[in-house]
Structure 1
Amino acid sequence: KLERVWMNLEHELRESFDDSTVIFLGDYCDRGPDTAKVLDFLVSLPERYPAQKHVFLCGNHDFAFAAFLRLLPPPPDGFSLSDTWKEYQKNEEREGWWSGEGYEEMHIQGRRWAGNIRDRYNVKKGMDY
Structure 2
Amino acid sequence: VLLESLRTWGALDHKFGYVKGKDSSERRGFARYPGGGLSGKPEFSDPFSVQDVLRSRLWTTLAAGNNYEMQTTMFQPVGGMDQIGKAFAKQLGDAITYNAKVTRIDQDGNGVRVSWQD
User: TM-score normalised to the size of structure 1?
Assistant: 0.19
Structure with higher Rg: it is 2
Using CA pairs below 8 Å that are at least 6 residues apart, which structure has the higher relative contact order?
Answer: 1
* Higher helix content, 1 or 2: 1
